A and B are shown apart, each in its own frame.
Chain A
Amino acid sequence: MTIMQIIFLITASVTLFAALMVVSTRKMMHAAMWLILVLFGVTITFALLETRFFAIVQLVIYIGAIAILIIFAVMLTRRSMNADVPQVNRNWWLVMVSSLALFVGLVTVMSVWEGFFVTARTAPPGGENLVQLGTALVDPNGFVLPFEVASLVLLAAMVGAIYVAAERKEK
């Protein structure tokens, strides 16, 4: 085993354990903290694949913004540290069987596709070609429409969020 494989195995097991803790811990604030560890594990995985841009984006967007958003949402809820809420209802086995069936079905369908068995490629040395990405983003024959639509989607998200919160304030 190379050092890279050891680092990957440690990262992967910590990420999976933290992911399990996110859904199994009874305190919501602790779940949010475990989620940050999961996202950080994904960041390290991106770094191991030598995709610098995605690693930084993962760190900046998911940990820097989304995780903070989730923590603020947890702080909005009452009784976020109370642990007396039952975690499972009596249909848990039905959900387990159906989600396992869904997982097996998805893997079966995807295994037909040849790309399923290809191991993950690492980015070329020096990271991704950001100049190419930047050029493609504003190229009329490239992704200029999604680029501008993304701006509109962000506008819509912000207007919607402010509208909902402003309504709550009047109550």
Chain B
Amino acid sequence: MLSDWLYVGIFLVIATFLPFVAITLAGILGPKKPNRLKSTIYECGIETVGETWVQFRAQYYIFALVFVVFDVETVLLYPWAVAYNQLGLFAVAEAVLFVLILFAALVYAWRKGALRWF
């Protein structure tokens, strides 16, 4: 039904409109008296040392990759969950096998320390 998407569209328009208006209004109404100290780049009130664009740790990339794997798993399991009432015990066993294989992947990632944040 396209009317359902209309609500999503209206929500999107409002969601982009509100912060846009808030930031623009603040820009128009706020006083502008810049001096040298105010214009410096700062982070948590402290001036940055060196370049602002630093290389991130490879570990974060692994987190994103593990997330992709389980995201795809969700998409594959979703149609199965919708059709759950029409399915027999065999189909449930198949889905359990599917989840178990990916559980092995999770255990592997865990044991290899890929889930460690620091």
* A residues neighboring B (CB under 8 Å): 4, 47-48, 50, 53, 57, 60-61, 64-66, 68-69, 72-73, 75-81, 125-127, 130-135, 137-140, 144, 147-148, 150-152, 154-155, 157-159, 161-162, 165-166, 168-169
Contacts and interface: CB of A to CB of B under 8 A. Distances in A.
A62 to B, nearest CB: 10
Given A125-B1, A137-B76, A166 B83 contact: no
B56 interface: yes
Given A130-B79, A138-B80, A69 B61 contact: yes
Contacts of A76: 55-56, 58, 60-61
A72 B56 contact: yes
A147 B94 contact: yes
Given A158-B105, A159-B105, A161-B65, 7 more contacts: A50-B1, A53-B78, A131-B79, A133-B79, A134-B83, A137-B79, A151-B73
B91 A138 contact: yes
A48 B5 CA distance: 9
Majority SS at the chain B contact face: helix
B65 A69 contact: yes
Interface of B: 1-2, 5, 8, 53, 55-56, 58-69, 71-76, 78-84, 86-87, 90-91, 94-95, 97-98, 101-102, 104-105, 108-109, 112-114
B114 A61 contact: no
Contact of B66 (A134, A138, A158): A158
Instruction: State the main secondary structure of chain A at its contact with B.
Output: helix
A148 B83 contact: no
Nearest to B75: A57
Contacts of A133: 79, 82-83
Contacts, number: 147
A61 B86 contact: no
A73 B80 contact: no
Contacts of A78: 55
Contacts of B84: 134
A50 B5 CA distance: 9
A165 B68 contact: no
A72 B94 contact: no
A155 B104 contact: yes
A161 B98 contact: no
A158 B98 contact: no
